[in-house]
Amino acid sequence: MPIACFVERYGLDHFEISMNALYEITKRHTSEYAIRPFLLHYEDLCLEILKDWLSDDNSHVRRLVSEGTRPRLPWAKRIPVIKGDPAHNLALLEPLLQDSSGYVRKSVANHLHDLSKDYRDTVLAWLHEHLESSGAYGPWILQHSLRSMAKSGDQEVLKLLTSMRIASE
């Protein structure tokens, strides 16, 4: 973690080498906090790299795509959604819905949970569209990502959760 902090603090003027370092660091520990200043300063360049990382063989790298871009990552400074539009975050999450790693899928659900706090209708519409064909992992991702709204008694969310459970049985 100290190495990631070093890259975060001193690497901002050295984008390419810093991103390569974060890529390697996250395979061994995590770079979810350290990548955030790069997202803020080099949004387009980061987005291109993150798209490549979506298909990386290493689950920690794929998880970094989801976890590092979370707007409300716990214990981290909040960041806005990519390019001011949650559609960019959702586009990064879509390929990870069926990820082979539960570690990655949990990050996706947590990211969707974050987004739902500020973009409720957008997230619900996206979930309606994508989770019906999400296979075996859909019900769990749906339940985990909408947990706060379900606890608050949001009727639309409760109806969606019920329909997803019925469909998966």
Number of H helices, E strands in the chain: 11, 0
Q: Measuring CA to CA, which residue among 153, 82, 161 is closest to residue 115? A: 82
The stretches in the chain having pLDDT less than 70 are 132-134, 165-169
CA 58 from centroid of its chain's CA atoms: 16
The C-alpha atoms of residue 58 and residue 156 are separated, in whole angstroms, by: 36
Instruction: Supply the pLDDT for residue 135.
Output: 72
Instruction: Supply the pLDDT for residue 128.
Output: 86
Instruction: Supply the pLDDT for residue 166.
Output: 47
Instruction: Supply the pLDDT for residue 59.
Output: 98
Instruction: Supply the pLDDT for residue 163.
Output: 80
Instruction: Supply the pLDDT for residue 169.
Output: 47
Instruction: Supply the pLDDT for residue 165.
Output: 64
